[in-house]
């Protein structure tokens, strides 16, 4: 029996699922129709393609979406819930609207946080993943990506978080700086050199020899002296920026939490796990459907499940 239709709708991709009451995924849909790559007809067309057959078969099921679909540039803007906060606060703040075909869609809000010096930070989509894998416990959760998130959870509620521009920085350095000359052509796939990645991570953890800006130029100098081959360049740079994120974030959050949980895509999560191992940090991996599990939890707390029928 289906209980919920969930959409994990990001910038570059859209995942949808028909979810059972126990969190089992009964059916799936995936496409490249993120909010910046919509088909002709826009959000309504993408929504129909992803969920139309499920909604036809289960017209009374609630439909819940999380991610960038609720951003200012998304389908509708869902205001941020301030941190600290948890599933209950998020469930009370769902944005509800009616789509062009008459369906009711609920969008999960993002979360905002101001650090100790008053600088704001935001996340959208990650909060739902965290709520899907944190339960009522505590821990430090890492969501690798274009803008990585480190999230501290206490008693099942999000206590604080911080964003790191790691993925976007790597892409910019790889494509638009002098470092591109130390790497293969952009027309070729980047090879992964494990030894070079390890060297980059260890360079990031070295407390001597300056900070990240100085270390970045090291890739250029190492290449000039024949100590870093072209094929090894991308992995070395990846190790340096991921390692720098791990060092900086663990300095900020500490490792008092009983676990460091990696949430997200398998390939990138594996890179972070490898870097953490090099640095002596133990990790575990979250459930791959954490976003949909979080949506189910939020829908229940919001009372949406009462709207569904067998």
Summarize the confidence of residues 175-190 as an average pLDDT: 89
Indicate the helix (H) or strand (E) that contains 130. helix 126-133
152 within domain boundaries: no
Residue 188: per-residue pLDDT = 80
153 within domain boundaries: no
SS3 content of the chain, % helix, strand, coil (to 5): 40, 20, 35
69 within domain boundaries: yes
Same domain, 30 and 130: yes
Same domain, 297 and 271: no
104 within domain boundaries: yes
Provide the domain count of the chain.
2
- Residue 172: which CATH number? 3.30.420.310
Same domain, 132 and 172: no
Sign of CA dihedral 275, 277, 279, 281: positive
Residue 247: per-residue pLDDT = 94
Same domain, 128 and 242: no
**Model confidence over 26-85: pLDDT tens digits?**
999 999 999 999 999 999 999 999 999 999 999 999 999 999 999 999 999 999 999 999
User: Residue 94: pLDDT above 60?
Assistant: yes
214 within domain boundaries: yes
Same domain, 262 and 299: no
User: Residue 309: pLDDT above 50?
Assistant: no
- Residue 60: which CATH number? 3.30.420.300
Same domain, 279 and 293: no
**Model confidence over 204-223: pLDDT tens digits?**
999 887 899 999 999 999 99
User: Which of residues 198 and 135 earns the better pLDDT score?
Assistant: 198
> By C-alpha distance, which of 201, 240, 244 is closest to 220?
240
142 within domain boundaries: no
93 within domain boundaries: yes
Q: At how many degrees (to 10) do helices 212-224 and 233-253 cross?
A: 160
Same domain, 253 and 293: no
**Model confidence over 249-302: pLDDT tens digits?**
999 988 644 568 999 888 899 999 999 999 999 999 999 999 999 999 999 999
* Structure tokens that stand for 171 in this block: 């892409």
Residue 207: per-residue pLDDT = 85
Same domain, 231 and 254: yes
Same domain, 268 and 302: no
Range of the domain at 218: 166-285
Same domain, 264 and 298: no
Same domain, 17 and 128: yes
**Model confidence over 115-173: pLDDT tens digits?**
989 999 999 999 999 999 988 788 999 999 999 999 999 999 999 999 999 999 999 99
Lateral strand order in the sheet of 148-154:
157-164, 148-154, 139-143, 260-262, 284-285
Same domain, 119 and 189: no
Residue 307: per-residue pLDDT = 56
161 within domain boundaries: no
């Amino acid at each position: 029996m289906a209980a919920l239709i969930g959409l994990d709708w990001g910038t570059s991709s859209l995942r949808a699922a028909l979810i059972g009451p126990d969190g089992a995924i009964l059916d799936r849909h995936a496409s490249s129709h993120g909010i910046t790559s919509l088909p002709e007809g826009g959000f309504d067309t993408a929504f129909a393609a992803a969920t139309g057959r499920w909604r036809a078969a289960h017209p009374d099921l609630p439909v819940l979406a999380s991610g960038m679909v609720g951003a200012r540039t998304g389908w509708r803007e869902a205001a941020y819930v301030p941190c600290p906060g948890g599933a209950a606060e998020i469930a009370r703040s769902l944005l509800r609207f009616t789509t062009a075909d008459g369906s009711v869609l609920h969008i999960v809000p993002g979360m905002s946080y101001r650090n100790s010096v008053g600088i704001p930070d935001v996340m959208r989509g990650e909060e739902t993943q965290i709520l899907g894998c944190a339960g009522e416990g505590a821990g430090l959760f890492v969501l690798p990506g274009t803008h990585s998130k480190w999230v501290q959870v206490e008693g099942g509620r999000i206590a604080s978080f911080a964003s790191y521009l790691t993925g976007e920085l790597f892409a910019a350095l790889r494509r638009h700086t002098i470092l591109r000359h130390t790497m293969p052509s952009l027309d070729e796939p980047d090879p992964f050199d494990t030894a070079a990645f390890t060297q980059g991570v260890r360079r990031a953890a070295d407390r001597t020899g300056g900070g990240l800006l100085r270390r970045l130029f090291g890739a250029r100098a190492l290449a000039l002296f024949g100590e870093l081959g072209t094929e090894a360049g991308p992995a070395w740079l990846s190790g340096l920026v991921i390692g720098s994120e791990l060092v900086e974030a663990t300095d900020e959050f500490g490792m008092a939490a009983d676990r460091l949980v990696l949430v997200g895509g398998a390939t990138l999560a594996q890179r972070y796990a490898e870097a953490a191992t090099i640095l002596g940090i133990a990790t575990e991996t979250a459930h791959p459907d954490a976003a949909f599990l979080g949506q189910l939890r939020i829908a229940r707390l919001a009372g949406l499940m009462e709207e569904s029928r067998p």
